[in-house]
Amino acid sequence: MVRALVTGATGFVGQFFIPYLLEQGVSVRILVRNARQHVFPDKVAQHVGDLIDAASLKGVAEDIDIIFHLGGHAHAWNEGNEAGEQQHTKINFVGTQNILNEGIRAGVKKFIFFSTIKAVADSRQCIDEKWDAHPDTPYGKAKRAAEEWVLSQGHQHSMPVCVLRLALVYGPLLKGNLYQMLRAIDKGYFPLIPAVKNQRSLVSVYDVCQAAWLAANSAQANGKIYFVTDNKEYSTYDIYALMRVELGRPKPLFHLPLWLFKLLAFVGDNGERILRRRLPFNSQAFDKLFGIAHYSSLRIQQELGFCPHYSLQKLMPEIVQVYSKG
């Protein structure tokens, strides 16, 4: 029986990945900061520790075959201040160093690192793993540094490692930006955005599980980086329209013009410089709404046989149903 250690088990992806591993017959141990009762099945072993506290990780990887490192810090709201940047570095980079070092010490056979498409800078074109432009956000920089560490240590210690750069993940129990968007539409305060045809990549949480399992079981994945998407293109308006329809909201009679959002971003940027504090809408928020973030997952499809089974349209009824239940 394969024995796996999973970090970030209580996060969005982790809540789906643990049951997935159990279905594959894997013996699962999870790293948690506090012992969790009645959250996971009794057969899931728990090790209480913290990624940023190396001493607390001692023994966590003993008798483990493979580590799935999902744990991290993804919040973007605090990226504009020094404390937020330090948090990204401490958790996403140093935390990754700590858990990988413990895995190496314990003789773990493989390490799968769940990274992000934000580990590279965006482009106005669809990009693949050859694109190497460096990220410009604290989150992306910390993840990129962690990727480079994982790959270098894998090479140095002859340890099979693989990096999965996930697109924005959707599914039931939605969190993050997509959840905020869904909630804002439901509550009636999301702006009536124009039908701009920007291209964004997403991936379902179920397909993330599939990709990770394929990477874990393929020698071809060793030392590789893969983009993981559902192989679809979405504009922000596509996502907005899908959410409105599933929430039962009527089609809007008009849309706010794009120039208005550009003006608000300009005002926000200048207001932040004057007030020296973060404002709700600026050029960063504009890019999140209307920017291009389009990635190809052809490599993982060709090399590992990854085949995404879900789309946002297919899962939206389930997403809204779970959201409506609170």
Taking each helix axis from N to C end, the angle separating 283-290 and 258-275, rounded to the nearest 10 degrees, works out to: 150
Please give the pLDDT value at position 326.
81
Please give the pLDDT value at position 246.
96
CA 95 – CA 116 distance, rounded (Å)? 16
Please give the pLDDT value at position 24.
97
DSSP 90: I
Please give the pLDDT value at position 168.
96
Return the structure tokens found at 289: 């709404």
- β-bridge mates for residue 32, sequence order: 48
CA 290 – CA 207 distance, rounded (Å)? 25
Q: Which residues of the chain have pLDDT under 50?
A: 77
Q: What are phi and psi for residue 87, nearest 5 degrees?
A: -65, -45
Q: Are 178 and 203 in contact (CB under 8 A)?
A: no
CA 117 – CA 203 distance, rounded (Å)? 11
Please give the pLDDT value at position 34.
87
Fold of 3-170+202-230+294-310: Rossmann fold (3.40.50)
Please give the pLDDT value at position 252.
86
Please give the pLDDT value at position 303.
98
CA 159 – CA 103 distance, rounded (Å)? 10
Alpha helix (H) ranges present in the chain? Answer: 12-23, 82-88, 95-106, 138-156, 176-187, 205-216, 236-247, 258-275, 283-290, 298-304, 312-324
DSSP 43: T
DSSP 89: I
